Structure 1
Amino acid sequence: MSMPTPPALETTAVGQSVATTDLSVWSLFIHADWVVQFVMILLLMASGWCWTIIFAKLMRLRSLQSSAERFEESFWSGGSLDSLYDRVGSRPNDPLSAIFAAAMREWRRTTTKGKATTRELRETLHHRIERVMNVTLNREMEQLERHLNFLASVGSTAPFIGLFGTVWGIMHSFQGIAQMQSTNLAVVAPGIAEALFATAIGLVAAIPAVLAYNKISSELGRYGNRLEAFASEFSAIMSRQLEEAE
């Protein structure tokens, strides 16, 4: 009559079986169900695009801050605004110069034709200049804020997409357990690990996206305030010049 295997020996055998199971990242991906694989690939692609947006936005913001400092130094140096406009050109590369160029272009278009001859016409010119600067400011900020919604979307949905992959993977794992009619840990562990790996990828995609969105939005908000402050100051300068022309 055969003797039953002691529980200690069974536990040791299960542990050795789990230890020999390949639970590397590549193995978890290869052996996962095709739906879970699709979720993983989707999350990895979203994460890669998020990092591309993050680096591009941070580099752009750093460049814009440097350009704004150089332009403001030239603007407040006391030189001629016409000379500065000639140097900046009609199509500047940064938003601050674009606001200045738009206002100067409208100024020159009217004053060179001698239209601002009465008080009413000068007030109309001042309103047009303010409107042109506001339109330019809004357009430039819209360009800077492009793709930020993608970061917000990934940050809010990636964990749930990963969770969907996890739920699907666990269901697939339970089906495998039912077919093999075994609850051995060596049978359960790979399927559960593959399922949980999808959630991990979702968090890896979501966390940097949320942090970057908050950081970049804050930086863009401060830069937008800088543009609005310059537009207000330049509008006041134009108003004084129009009053002196009376």
Structure 2
Amino acid sequence: MTTLDLLAAGSAIAPTRLDPLQLFLDADIVVRLVILGLVLASVWVWTIIFSFSLRIGRLKRSSAKFEQEFWTSDEPENLISRAKADNASGRVAAAGLSELRRSTKSGLKDRPAAMGRIAQAMEGQAAVEADKLAERLNFLATTGSVAPFIGLFGTVWGIMNSFFQIGMQQNSSLAVVAPGISEALFATAIGLFAAIPAVIAYNRFSNVVNGFEARLQRFADRVHANIGREMENS
């Protein structure tokens, strides 16, 4: 069979579209590991995105309900004791109430100092709630910054392997280097696929966490002002 016949036969069975699965199966073991790691990272990124969206929605609804009931309740202390276990606003109010009890246990001796401690207790609890909410977002930030470089490593390795094949086969034709380069560039594409949604989600959710913390701080300020009025009237 002549060279022309071999080329004709190769063109007859050449794929007509990009097959990601076949690119992965044909790739070098290092490139495969890179792609597999990036795919797992992407799956975890989307898991965090969906779980965080559900969680923040639930937190906002429960906090709004608690705050509405708190300002209309005749017995806010009982409401706080029931809600603090599973409600961010309830835990903020509980922190202020706990500090109020400690500060007035032996009689109120220094009202400004007591008010300052109450404010610090609620502000600290609001910060704790925000930190708990944002603890899984660090993975999004890490994936967004690192995934493109991991994909680039796979690309560099695949291109190096393609040049090695050129030296082994003593043939620099496109048919020799194209498969390896395609597999290598696929690693970069997977890296971007993992990084882009991670960066977008991290920026969006960071703003959401900051907004939720600000909401808790505003609630704490109102509770603090209410406690101050009660101290003046007592």
Give the alignment of 1:209-228 within 5 angstroms: 209-228=198-217
Q: Does the 8 A contact of 1:23 with 1:190 survive in 2?
A: no
- 1:6-29 superposed Cα distances (whole Å, 9 cap, x missing partner): xxx79x738716725995222211
Q: 1:56 aligns with which of 34, 51, 56?
A: 51
Gaps of 5+ in 2: none
Gaps of 5+ in 1: none
RMSD (Å) for aligned C-alpha atoms? 2.5
| Pair 1:33-2:25 in alignment | no
Q: Could you tell me how far apart the structure 2 residues matched to 1:179 and 1:18 are?
A: 25
Following TM superposition, by how much is the alpha carbon of 1:123 offset from its aligned partner in structure 2, in angstroms? 2.7
Following TM superposition, by how much is the alpha carbon of 1:224 offset from its aligned partner in structure 2, in angstroms? 1.0
| Pair 1:239-2:219 in alignment | no
Q: Could you tell me how far apart the structure 2 residues matched to 1:22 and 1:81 are?
A: 66
Q: Does the 8 A contact of 1:21 with 1:190 survive in 2?
A: no
Q: Could you tell me how far apart the structure 2 residues matched to 1:192 and 1:137 are?
A: 51
Q: 200-209 vs 134-143, which deviates more?
A: 134-143
| Pair 1:102-2:95 in alignment | yes
Q: Could you tell me how far apart the structure 2 residues matched to 1:237 and 1:18 are?
A: 79
TM-score with structure 1 setting the length = 0.85
Q: Could you tell me how far apart the structure 2 residues matched to 1:23 and 1:31 are?
A: 13
Q: Name the aligned partner's letter for residue 96 of structure 1.
A: S
- 1:121-144 superposed Cα distances (whole Å, 9 cap, x missing partner): x33322221121122112111111
Following TM superposition, by how much is the alpha carbon of 1:150 offset from its aligned partner in structure 2, in angstroms? 1.6
Q: Does the 8 A contact of 1:17 with 1:186 survive in 2?
A: no
Match of 1:178 in 2: 167
Match of 2:194 in 1: 205
| Aligned residue pair count | 233
Following TM superposition, by how much is the alpha carbon of 1:53 offset from its aligned partner in structure 2, in angstroms? 1.5
- 1:98-127 superposed Cα distances (whole Å, 9 cap, x missing partner): 10111122223444x4522x4x2x333222
1:199 aligned counterpart, secondary structure: helix
Q: Does the 8 A contact of 1:14 with 1:185 survive in 2?
A: no
- 1:77-103 superposed Cα distances (whole Å, 9 cap, x missing partner): 253322322432xx4212211101111
2:53 aligned counterpart, secondary structure: helix
Q: Could you tell me how far apart the structure 2 residues matched to 1:35 and 1:193 are?
A: 15
2:74 aligned counterpart, secondary structure: coil
Q: Aligned pair in 2 of structure 1 residues 78, 147: CA closer, same or farther (>3 Å)?
A: closer
Q: Does the 8 A contact of 1:14 with 1:186 survive in 2?
A: no
Q: Aligned pair in 2 of structure 1 residues 165, 173: CA closer, same or farther (>3 Å)?
A: same
Q: Name the aligned partner's letter for residue 71 of structure 1.
A: F
Structure exhibiting the larger radius of gyration computed from Cα positions: 1
Q: Does the 8 A contact of 1:46 with 1:205 survive in 2?
A: yes
Following TM superposition, by how much is the alpha carbon of 1:49 offset from its aligned partner in structure 2, in angstroms? 1.6
